[in-house]
Structure 1
Amino acid sequence: MKVRFSPATFLIAIAVYLFYTGSVSEYDLITGSIVALIISLTVGHWLIENDAKFFSPRRWFYAVIYALRYFFIEETKTHIDVAKRVFTLKANPGIVRIPLEVENDYGKVLVANSITNTPGTVVVDISDDGKWLYVHWIDVSTLDEKEIKESVVAYFEDYAKKIFD
């Protein structure tokens, strides 16, 4: 069994522990640290491949910018669009195939989850080679791969590359 302390895994585990307990009392800090240490030592090498990359300020900067823009701008725009479609009954749903250029598995997960969390789109499958996403889209307005990619995935993929590749 491979044992290696991962500071990144430790920080993530203790942050999640404290978030879910909703407390930063002495007891929770000690208990959280013990739990985070155990997690870090047993599965840290599987979760975080390179701790130095995890602590890169550039990555964190792009992650914060992505989160702010995604949750406050992109989500709002798509919620309004879907609400309009509900009231006007103007929808052209279908499943489209979109090429995926992100190489890192974490980046692929970020793109797929972002698409699924955005109203009007749901990732229904990822190809076995990880190069294609199959997305159910509420408004298939084009069948051109470049236009579909620009409409559905481009923003997410750009930031996934900056954060994870």
Structure 2
Amino acid sequence: MSKVSIVVFTILLALIYLVYTGSYGLLEIMIALLTGLGVSLLFAQDLVRNTWKLSLTRFMRAVAYLAKYFTVIEARAHWGVVKLILKPGAEYRPGIVRVPYGVNSEYSIVSIANSITNTPGTVVVDIDEDRKFFYVHWIDVQAFDDQDARRAVSEVFEKELSRIFE
């Protein structure tokens, strides 16, 4: 594992730590960097298999994706669930839908599944890696057709994350 890989991995982990904690003071930044460095030194060789894929471009895409995900995508999903909850006599259709995916790397698959699960109203309950399907519990099913469900549930994640991990 190269020094550049460790630095990149440390910064990425520190940014994720800071976003999740929501605290950006000097002490918190130092803790984030030290935690990121510790995890990088311990696990980077197991987590980063293709060091040639590490690049500033992919890193910036990841940062842009996280910014978009935590602001725009999450806000829309939260608002949709709030509308369902507050709508008097709302009739929604919870169910499990099959959502195909077209990515190959484990990182892409896991990242898409996590993005779906972290978004309010949807949870990945199973992954069929042989047939390339997520099975997603959706609080208000809008489409049962595989491709329509993909467009509604995971297409934006797959598009962005495949540019980072594939």
Alignment partner, residue 24 of structure 2:
none
Query: Aligned AA for 1:50?
Result: N
Matches within 5 A, 1:37-76: 40=41, 43-54=43-54, 56-76=55-75
Are the aligned partners of 1:6 and 1:44 in contact in 2 as well (CA < 8 Å)?
A: no
72 and 44 in structure 1: CA distance in 2 versus 1, 3 angstrom threshold: closer
Note closer, same or farther for the CA distance 1:79–1:125 as it changes in structure 2 (3 Å cut).
same
- The aligned residue for residue 28 of structure 2 is 22
Matches of 1:125 and 1:57 in 2, distance apart? 33
Q: Which has the larger radius of gyration?
A: 1
Deviation at 1:141, TM superposition (A): 2.0
| Letter paired with 1:79 | H
Shift of 1:139: 1.4
State the distance in 2 between where 1:24 and 1:147 align. 45
1:74-113 superposed Cα distances (whole Å, 9 cap, x missing partner) = 1111111100101223311000011111111111111001
CA contact (8 A) 1:6 1:45 kept: no
Q: Which whole-Å deviations, capped at 9, do the CAs of 1:108-150 have from their partners, x for residues lacking one?
A: 1110010001010000011142711000001112211111100
Q: State how far apart, in whole Å, the 2-side matches of 1:114 and 1:121 are.
A: 9
1:8 aligns with 2:5: yes
1:50-93 CA-to-partner distances (Å, cap 9, x unmatched) read 22312x12212221221121111111111111001012233110
Give the structure-2-normalised TM-score: 0.77
CA contact (8 A) 1:78 1:118 kept: yes
Structure-1 separation of matches of 2:109 and 2:39? 28
CA distance in 1, matches of 2:39, 2:135: 38
In structure 2, list runs of 5 or more residues that go unmatched.
Answer: 22-26
Q: Distance in 2 between matches of 1:72 and 1:38?
A: 27
Structure 1 segments unaligned to the other structure (5+ residues): none
Identity %: 36
Aligned length: 154
Contact 2:9 2:40 in 1 (8 A): no
Q: How does 1:9-158 map to 2 (within 5 A)?
A: 9=6, 11-13=8-10, 16=14, 22=28, 24=30, 32=34, 36=37, 40=41, 43-54=43-54, 56-88=55-87, 89-129=90-130, 131-158=132-159
CA change 1:37–1:7 in 2 (3 A) is farther
Aligned residue identity for 1:87: L
**CA displacement, residues 18-61 of structure 1 (integer Å, 9 cap, x when unaligned):** 96973639xx98xx49x947963x6433211122312x122122
The AA in structure 1 aligned to 2:61 is Y
